[in-house]
Amino acid sequence: MITFAVLKFIRMKQLNRLTICIALLFCVQVISAQSDSIINAENPSDSLIIQNNTNKLRLLEAQRISDSLKKVELQNQIDALKSTDENKRVALQEELKQLNLQEARLLEQRKLQIEALKKNTKGHPVMGFFGDTLFLIHNKLGSFSPKERADAIGRRIKNLPQNLGFNKDSLKIVEAETTFDILYEELIILSVSDSDGLWNDKTPFELAKDYKSTIGEAVERYRAETNIFTILKGIGLAILVIVIIGFLIKYIIRFFRWSAIRIQQQENKKIKGIQFKNYTLFDAKSQVNALLIVNKILKWFTVLLAIYIALPVLFGLFPWTENFADTLFGYILNPVKKILLALWNYLPDLFTILVIIFVFRYVLKAIRFLKNEIAKGKLQINGFYPDWANPTYQIVRVLIIAFMIVVIFPYLPGSDSPIFQGISVFLGFLFTFGSAGSLSNLIAGLVLTYMRLFRIGDRVKIGEVTGDVIEKSSLVTRVRTIKNEIISIPNSTVMNSHTINYSSDAPEKGLIIHTTVTIGYDVPWKDMYQALIDAALRTELVLKEPQPFVLQTSLEDFYVAYQINAYIREANKQAVIYSNLHQNIQDVCNERGIEILSPHYRAARDGNTSTIPSEYLPEDYEAPGFNVHTTQKKDKK
């Protein structure tokens, strides 16, 4: 519309080129002011995008105005030509035609730039009588910013019902130099510019007609809803709604009171409790109490739901509170709508996650099949022992699951949220620092598995603990001692201690058990050798081959230390074998007249009975008598 005014002015005054340039600069300044008002009205974070689009729009408008001025100048030149200058007329008309085409293209480009601005700008609402939005204002006009225009238009509209003679047809649309004005009598309600039309994808006149219709309907609706008869009718309906909801709440409470009585009456009849095999989850009394709690919760939920539904109905009866109804319904409907919409939008990612889980599930099944084949010995790999199959599978399984989580992570809702990422990092720190000891045990468990120090059932000695291995986990090794004590040893402690495995070579090479007996020098060593070997051969579970053997471990001041060594295969029965061997050593020594004496025991016999048990002594054995020697002194005469 600014352009039309300039064109009229040029036609009336027949301006020269200098005047045209001045007018062009003035129009560009007006456009710049309008564009600046858009930028100032937006969020600073989007200011760069808005600035770029606004600058483009400013240049396009300046170009359009320049072309319009050229068109006027060309038309004046055509009108001033004589009839004999036909060739020049044709050239000027062709140039005028090109300008018209360029103007159409510029208009399309302006529309595209405004569409881009719409994505980052927000109009200012013109508020109606009941807090509703009638329409939006996006650009300034004259010295009024978009917000000031919207507020001024809203105030003028709210003054219209005070005019008793006002009706919808009282509003008129009048074309001004640069705008279409909507008037009531002599009062301008609002002016619609060419920029307003572009922002709404309409011509200024069409937009003015829409605004006129909206304003007229808003005023008539306000009058209809605020007259005394409508208000009295609303009050009557409100009283009716309150009475109905009161009766509804009363009978809801009665119904749930009746249902509570019925539940109590069914105790030990239809309500007999809940059992799973031999375990009673709820007896009849507990089940009745649980049902009564559920009944009470449903009662109050139903009462509150009835009140919640009634309130919007009450608010909707009066125009001043009508928006409260939408707000109350929005408290429930908006979250539900957002949840359903989020679920719908998340379905593609959910299907992707399900496909990933499906693929990885069958990958794990294939690896589990290989693990079972290796563990059973059906599939043999050089250098890979069957007992490595299960721990190796567990490691590979953890790695595959971790990789699956990494693949799935981008598809999780909120995975790109800084809060979600911060929580993930925080949990990682907690896991790292809180499980330092556990991680050392876990790593030690893996090392022990592949070192093959022992297996389940082996008799071992770890540090000062001796017993049979009953469990090897990732964190601890459990040992049962010969006294049936279960001792849990952290794997890191196992790694830092020396370990003796009695069972590893016992089935093939045999385990050598040994015990030491100290005998005095009065017993020939050959006799002692034979006695100890015979005692070992008498012992159950001692192997005949390889044959037991004896070693003299030391020659002390008062005795000789003889060590009997024997081979066994049952390493887990050492305690019983040692006990039987000690018994047999005593029996053989006693049978052969060899006394097992303490290191400092003297072998002199002077009236003392032998320490050998009586069943091993001859029947005619008699304890030796005491040797008494007397000396007689001769009297001297």
Secondary structure of 241-309 as H, E, C letters: HHHHHHHHHHHHHHHHHHHHHHHHHCECCCECCEEECCEEEECHHHHHHHHHHHHHHHHHHHHHHHHHH
Query: Smallest Cα–Cα separation from 299: which of 262, 254, 265?
Result: 254
Mean pLDDT, residues 12-38 taken together: 42
**Sequence-ordered strand ranges (E) for 436-510:** 459-462, 465-472, 476-480, 486-490, 499-501
pLDDT at 549: 96
Query: Smallest Cα–Cα separation from 91: which of 105, 103, 77, 72?
Result: 77
- Region of poorest pLDDT, from 36-45, 226-235, 255-264, 558-567: 36-45
CATH of the domain at 463: 2.30.30.60
Reduced to 3 states, what is the DSSP secondary structure of residue 482?
coil
- For residues 568 and 574, the answer to whether their CB atoms sit within 8 Å is yes
pLDDT at 374: 85
Residues in the chain, total: 637
Query: Smallest Cα–Cα separation from 500: which of 463, 474, 535, 531?
Result: 463
DSSP one-letter code for 120:
T
Asked whether residue 329 is assigned to any structural domain, the reply reads no
DSSP string covering 138-192, please? -S-BTTB-HHHHHHHHHHHHHHGGG-TT--GGGEEEEE-SS-EEEEETTEEEEEE
Query: 65 and 41 share a domain?
Result: yes
CATH of the domain at 556: 3.30.70.100
SS (H, E, C) 121-140: CCCEEEECCCCCEEEEECCC
Query: 34 and 129 share a domain?
Result: no
Mean pLDDT, residues 134-138 taken together: 86
What band does 539 get if pLDDT is binned at 50, 70 and 90? very high
Query: 11 and 104 share a domain?
Result: yes
Of the residues 293, 317, 341, which one is the last residue of a structural domain? 317
Query: 251 and 147 share a domain?
Result: no
Query: 612 and 515 share a domain?
Result: yes
Mean pLDDT, residues 238-261 taken together: 91
pLDDT of 226 above 80: no
pLDDT at 400: 92
pLDDT of 19 above 70: no
- For residues 413 and 345, the answer to whether their CB atoms sit within 8 Å is no
Of the residues 301, 317, 333, which one is the last residue of a structural domain? 317
- In which domain, by residue range, is 277 found? 230-317
CA distance 28 to 72: 18
- What H or E segment, with its residue span, contains residue 26? helix 17-40
Query: 494 and 597 share a domain?
Result: no
Which of the two residues, 466 and 178, has the higher pLDDT score?
466
pLDDT at 452: 74
Query: 530 and 594 share a domain?
Result: yes
Query: 462 and 496 share a domain?
Result: yes
Query: 541 and 564 share a domain?
Result: yes
pLDDT tens, position by position, 380-422: 888 777 777 887 888 888 889 989 988 998 888 777 777 766 7
Asked whether residue 209 is assigned to any structural domain, the reply reads yes
pLDDT at 130: 72
CA distance 282 to 54: 72
Question: Which of 177-182's residues contact partners 24+ apart within 8 Å by CB, and which partners?
Answer: 177/1, 177/4, 177/5, 177/8, 178/1, 178/2, 178/4, 178/5, 179/1, 179/141, 179/204, 180/204, 180/205, 180/207, 180/208, 181/208, 182/208, 182/211, 182/212, 182/215
Mean pLDDT, residues 539-551 taken together: 93
Query: 19 and 103 share a domain?
Result: yes
Q: Which amino acid is at 293?
A: I
Q: What is the mean pLDDT of the chain?
A: 78
Number of alpha carbons in the 13 Å side-chain half-sphere of residue 550: 22
How many domains in the chain?
Answer: 5
Which of the two residues, 72 and 592, has the higher pLDDT score?
592
Asked whether residue 191 is assigned to any structural domain, the reply reads yes
What band does 576 get if pLDDT is binned at 50, 70 and 90? very high
Mean pLDDT, residues 428-435 taken together: 59
pLDDT of 50 above 50: yes
Query: Smallest Cα–Cα separation from 179: which of 54, 30, 37?
Result: 30
Its pTM stands at: 0.42
CA distance 424 to 417: 11
Mean pLDDT, residues 583-597 taken together: 91
CA distance 624 to 606: 6
What band does 627 get if pLDDT is binned at 50, 70 and 90? confident
CA distance 529 to 592: 12
Query: 130 and 47 share a domain?
Result: no
- For residues 106 and 35, the answer to whether their CB atoms sit within 8 Å is no
